[in-house]
């Protein structure tokens, strides 16, 4: 029944998300479907109640993304205020960061990309790649340590 509801209302959910956040609507739709599938046991039994339930999940995913994005932007502003960089080094640093991420082992790289580029929480990223949250936390911590060391050596080296 949930599978049928997702097929039937998937287009409506995507349009709902596109009107609110077009650049990440497809990701949010995927997250909505994942959450719905994980919460399958909580789904209403009446078919007429499934559509609002799915839209409630989509709304929660959207709000979570906006909250996370707002936090990331505030953090970036605080970091920028602590150590403003000359404009000419921004492009070189961006290349260094991308190169450092690309050099990570695939499981670590994928987590970093999901969290920082796709906006997933660490728990959601773990679900996306099919691992448990504790494994994801461990991989993410190793990735951060590697990135910090790599970037520190490129800045000081």
- pLDDT tens figures, 65-116: 999 988 888 887 777 777 554 455 556 666 778 888 888 998 898 888 888 8
The region, left, alpha or beta by phi > 0 then psi within -120 to 50, assigned to residue 119 is left
Distance CA 134, CA 113 (A): 18
Check whether residue 50 and residue 114 sit in a common domain: no
Are both 123 and 156 inside the same structural domain? yes
Longest dimension (CA), the chain: 63
Q: Which residues of 114-124 are buried (b: 16+ CB within 10 A; e: fewer)?
A: bbeebbbbbeb
Q: Are 12 and 63 part of one and the same domain?
A: yes
pLDDT of 157 > 80? The answer is: no
Same-domain pairing of 91 and 23: no
Q: Decide which of 45, 60, 84 is a domain's last residue.
A: 84
Q: Which of 84, 115, 136 is the last residue of a domain?
A: 84
Looking at the 3D structure of the chain, how many domains does it have?
A: 2
Q: 62, 84, 106 — which closes off a domain? A: 84
Domain range for residue 68? 1-84
**Is 141 in the same domain as 151?**
yes
Q: How far is CA 116 from the centre of its chain?
A: 7
Residues 62 and 21 in one domain: yes
pTM, entire model: 0.51
């Amino acid at each position: 029944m949930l599978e049928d509801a997702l097929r039937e209302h998937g287009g409506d959910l995507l349009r709902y998300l596109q009107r609110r956040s077009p650049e990440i609507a497809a990701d949010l739709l995927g997250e909505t479907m994942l959450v719905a599938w994980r919460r399958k046991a909580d789904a209403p039994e009446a078919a007429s109640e499934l559509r609002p339930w799915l839209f409630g999940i989509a709304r929660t995913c959207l709000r979570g993304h906006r909250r996370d994005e707002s936090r990331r932007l505030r953090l970036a502003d605080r970091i920028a205020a602590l150590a403003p960089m000359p404009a000419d080094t921004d492009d070189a640093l961006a290349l260094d960061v991308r190169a450092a991420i690309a050099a990570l082992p695939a499981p670590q790289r994928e987590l970093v990309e999901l969290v920082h580029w796709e906006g997933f929480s660490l728990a959601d990223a773990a679900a996306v790649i099919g691992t448990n949250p504790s494994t994801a936390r461990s991989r993410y911590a190793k990735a951060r340590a590697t990135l910090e060391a790599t970037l520190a050596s490129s800045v000081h080296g």
